[in-house]
Amino acid sequence: MDAPSGSSDRATFIAAEAVNNQFGGLTLEERNHSVQNPKSYGAISGSSSSASELVNYLEDFTVDKSTYCRAKIRATFYPKFENEKTDQEIRTRMIEMVSKGLATLEVSLKHSGSLFMYAGHTGGAYAKNSFGNIFTAVGVFVLSRMFREAWGTKALEKEAEFNDFLETNRMCVSMELVTAVLGDHGQRPVDDYVVVTAVTELGNGKPKFYSTSEIIAFCRIWRLPTNHVWLFSTRKSVTSFFAAFDALCEEGIATSVCRALDEVADISVPGSKDHVKVQGEILEGLVARIVSSGSARDMENVLRDHPPPTCDGANLALGLSLREICAANRCNEEQQIRALLTSVGPSFCPSDLDWFGDDSVESHSKNADKSVITKFLESQPADYTTSKLQEMVRLMKERRLPAAFKCYQNFHRANDVSPDNLFYKLVVHVHSDSGFRRYQKEMRNMPGLWPLYRGFFVDINLLKANKGRDPMAMESIDKAVKDAGENCGQQGKDGLDDADANLMIKLKFLTYKLRTFLIRNGLSVLFKEGPASYKVFYLRQMKIWGTSDGKQKEICKMLDEWAAHIRKKCGNKQLSSSLYLSEVEPFLEQYAQRSPKNQGLIGSAGNQVRAEDFLAIVDGDLVEEGDLVKKERGTPATPEPAVKKAVQKDGGLIVFFPGIPGSAKSALCKELLNAPGGLGDGMPVHSLMGDLVKGKYWPKVADECRKMPQSIMLADKNAPNEDVWRQIEDMCRRTKATGVPVVADSEGTESNPYSLDALAVFIFRVLQRVNHPGNLDKSSSNAGYVILMFYHLYDGKNRKEFEGELIERFGSLVKIPLLRSDRSPLPVPVKSILEEGIDLFQLHSRRHGRLESAKGTYAVEWTKWEKQLRSTLIANSEYLNSVQVPFESAVQQVREELKRIAKGEYKPPSSEKTKHGSITFAAINLPVTQVHSLLEKGFSSYQLAVSNPTMRSFLEGKKKSIEEKLERAHVTLAHKRSHGVAAVARYGQHLNREVPIQLTELIFNDNMAAFTAHVGSVDGETIVCKNEWPHVTLWTAEGVTAKEANTLPQLYADGKASRMVIDPPASVSGPLEFF
């Protein structure tokens, strides 16, 4: 039977046979009875091989011509694409595409929880980068609970159908798992729940992700929770959306945001879980993405064909809740997991092997990782999907992307295991966003490369040809799969190119960021470094966000009070980030009660859910979306950089060097110190060489700066990380000095601000040195290793990110010219020896951390590499000398830049970060010069200022006051306090368009004066003003607010104001803007 071709019908077809039949369900009592008698766990019953033999099978498995591999994606979330455009560029492109009818903008709520994926009872349950832990146990329990609530007495039957359906069709359902037992986010949820965010078909080739309309159809068939979604398919609606967000970004809560978006959207589909009722008013944010232009039509069809389902279990006793189970099992994580899985029952959890494995075999071994991946890549692919997955893994390893490939025994296939037929689960864990960015660049060069997914789990089967399908049969069958997969991929683009199809932007609200980014993420700074450093931390964050000045003042006052309160209560014992809301909620509640302004700042407070009673026990610290970070690897919260407008000529300078040994900083400092006339501003120049300072270096620099605040300090030591940068920022704040980073110029790589060319020169220079004060010279046996260690301290940032962060933190950046632009490429032997060293360093650091190279497992390899490094660089010394910019020229250029900074003449380059402040009202902004001209020089055929005696008398008396006060003139169209957010937002489609205005009369008295304004049209559409009296306020007396000018027409009617008609009307114009 062929599936229907229509997108809305296809989801119905997929689930119809499994759902539409009406079965007689077990009673809830029968179900509870079955739940209390779970299947026996811990053994692989009926297995043809004992579990203890599995590792030996792998060791004995050899790859030869008869070896094949079959790999299939088992679970995955959407691909992660890093937009290279700024937020403003993304907005502009989104508006342009919707305006031209090329696409629709889809917006959904961002529930604050963790990623959870479910692929059926044997397919498995997964968190973002892991499985078989407390996160997935909680996820399975909550998903089962959703079925009980939705289906009531038929739940057990429907659970079995659902699991069979996922297994048969090889599908994965991704959800946002929102609970109070896995640690605090922005607000403890009222209830524990999931919301479906993606449905994926994994059966043939490349994963096929359902459209949102298909997801809603799927969820309504199975009665799964859906998210709130809005569609914007016209220019008016899409511009109104962005304006609505900007109006609410600093004060939005779930109720106000949903109300505003409901008013401006073309289609609004409420979620089956009301955010206010299940999570609360604190809303993390919105996710906006481009979808096909036919999405609105598809959504309308789905809503027509699939009405919201009933909730049959709403009034039934559903057994112990998640919080009750966790509260009753507080001994350890294993006890909680077992209790949760036992409560779930056999449909969702027929076996707990994914969580506990088997006692007779170690389910995960580092040796197995390397061995499985090696054999996987060496084997012949049994099908097209396997070849594409091999291509992905091979490329990631060859490009040394920051990713781990962890392999585990697949106990669900234990019955099928034999010496020539092995089964594993592969977890692809990308460690940083730079990995996704670099992979995305590779995709542009290799159009057929599959995307790199978030939450990426693969089933691997290593086999001999006689144990699987015939290779020829595999090839012929798989051609259809390949063609189908490629065709499906083309159809999924909906006519959009890759850059546009992946346009997405996340928009977060200040009420959420206040709690998470400023309070929770600042706990480490507050308790370890004190209130002063904490203030620097949160001010920097707000500057990065572009928080309005007024809101910054409000937050500063509140956070200073919070810091004093919690330090007094907790002393030096840091508050747990997993339970921080236990202290924050009561504080915010009492703070909000003091005034309406405070209430607006906080948004909502007072949720007294006590997570201490039931918090899940996790072996490690909690981070977002289900990742676990072991405690020994925990790092203090690092503040985001603040954007400085320019370097001020006030106080001294602290010149420092975020570089690598060999970048010539000491030689440069010596030249600057001895330069005649210093830096030309009269300030004394001092230098402090790190290699000659005993004890801690940066506190010594701070002492010197305090002693000589009006001087230039050359901090002659590498400053390679953000911890040092924060110390320098603190020095600058305390001494009113300006920090000036000086870096060697380089193109960098995708993940490091320094290129291999620069690294080669740095090492070459170090190996030319003799008698270095720091003992890093040609006599150092491990010089190469030490420089690689410094090089890797910058890993994770490309050059643009590196320079941008320094500019944002310190307001300036000086570059030391290093390499000639006309140089020839780096010789292959030099490039190869450096890449070999980088690979060796990564192996060493993963196993030994920062242990010296001579003491680890790879000591012999390091010795050999250091020797080869020296011989290679010596052999290429002529090249390495020729590509360097002459040192004298480099010194001169740096000196000139520092002179400009010392004189206050330096203007920093743009950091390319666009900020969106909070919108309060929409208005037509009139040039003040036009208004002055109208008043003083006349307009058209008359002179207003002298044509009326009363007017002349008024102007003569108020002329000076008007000139002083009239700095801005505008016609207010709508104010969000008076007319609502949606009313303001709807002007977004005309943003920055020139609007004609006719001034028809002047009404005035001794306290104020204003012109009556008639607003014109744009492109034939009249701009309607929401104010009862459209006007331009000209002047108000001392103590009179501009808002009071609204009363002038009534005052005139009461004989308390004068009016002068302007005939003919005066014409002015100005752009429509948001304020």
Active site residues: 110
Within 10 Å of residue 89's Cβ, how many Cβ atoms?
A: 14
Encoded amino acid at 651, one letter: G
CB 207 within 8 Å of CB 453: yes
Within 10 Å of residue 764's Cβ, how many Cβ atoms?
A: 21
Handedness of CA 701, 702, 708, 713 (dihedral sign): positive
Nearest to 74 by CA among 383, 458, 454: 458
Nearest to 794 by CA among 622, 663, 688: 663
Tokens of 997: 């205005």
Nearest to 183 by CA among 112, 126, 128: 112
**HSE-CB of 934 using CA atoms within 13 angstroms:** 24
CB 643 within 8 Å of CB 769: no
Residue 648 CA, chain-centre distance (Å), reads 32
CB 507 within 8 Å of CB 292: no
Distances from the Cα of 680 to the Cα of 684, 710, 811, 896, 900, angstroms: 10, 14, 21, 10, 9
Distances from the Cα of 45 to the Cα of 39, 50, 354, angstroms: 11, 10, 15
Phi/psi of residue 567, each to 5°?
A: -70, -35
- Residue written as tokens 């591999």? 69
CB 299 within 8 Å of CB 269: yes
Tokens of 976: 């969000």
Within 10 Å of residue 201's Cβ, how many Cβ atoms?
A: 17
Tokens of 288: 């906006």
Nearest to 996 by CA among 1060, 920, 1059, 1065: 1065
Handedness of CA 294, 300, 303, 304 (dihedral sign): negative
Let me know if 156 is exposed, middle or buried by CB neighbors in 10 A (0-12, 13-18, 19+): buried
Let me know if 258 is exposed, middle or buried by CB neighbors in 10 A (0-12, 13-18, 19+): buried
Q: What is the DSSP string of 232-264?
A: E-SHHHHHHHHHHHHHHTTT--HHHHHHHHHHH
Tokens of 708: 């000589």
Nearest to 87 by CA among 245, 258, 281, 297: 245
CB 116 within 8 Å of CB 194: yes
Nearest to 304 by CA among 19, 16, 9, 2: 9
